[in-house]
Amino acid sequence: MTSVPTASSSPPASEGSPSSQLRYLPESVPMYQCAQCGTHLALQDELISKAFSGRDGKAYLFFSVLNTRLGAKEDRQLLTGVHTVADLHCEGCGVNVGWTYLKAWESSQRYKEDKYILERAACHKANGWS
């Protein structure tokens, strides 16, 4: 398994202000960014599956994300049953980018617990990878 690059708290020269609390990944690593503001959201290496559905179309399941804050916890009826989830909001601009699974009520869905969904429409790939 490859080592995961660590995020730094200092922004690249072209982004944000030095006082920003956002974490930035090295520019050379494949990542997903917020489609609205470009904030770094997840490493490509943290991607588990692209076979998920979000509110607005395709969604991706990740082991971890960064630069997000949680919304209120709620039970939500999803395609695979009831799950306790919390929406994820981009720390850079506040837009809803997905949700995290806090609890799956069906045993077959428990693999999703403590994982993160990023909506495809809310993020884009960066750093020239396919």
Which DSSP string corresponds to 3-52? PPPPPBSSPPTTSS-TT----B--TTS-EEEETTT--EEEEGGGEEEEEE
Beta-bridged to residue 78, according to DSSP, are 81
pTM, to two decimals: 0.82
Q: pLDDT of 75-104, one tens digit each?
A: 999 888 899 999 999 999 999 999 999 999
Confidence (pLDDT) at 27: 85
Confidence (pLDDT) at 96: 98
6 exposed, middle or buried (CB, 10 Å; 0-12, 13-18, 19+)?
exposed
Beta-bridged to residue 123, according to DSSP, are 34
- The domains located in the chain, with CATH, are 31-126 (2.170.150.20)
Q: pLDDT of 41-84, one tens digit each?
A: 999 999 999 999 998 899 999 999 999 999 999 999 988 889 99
Confidence (pLDDT) at 11: 45
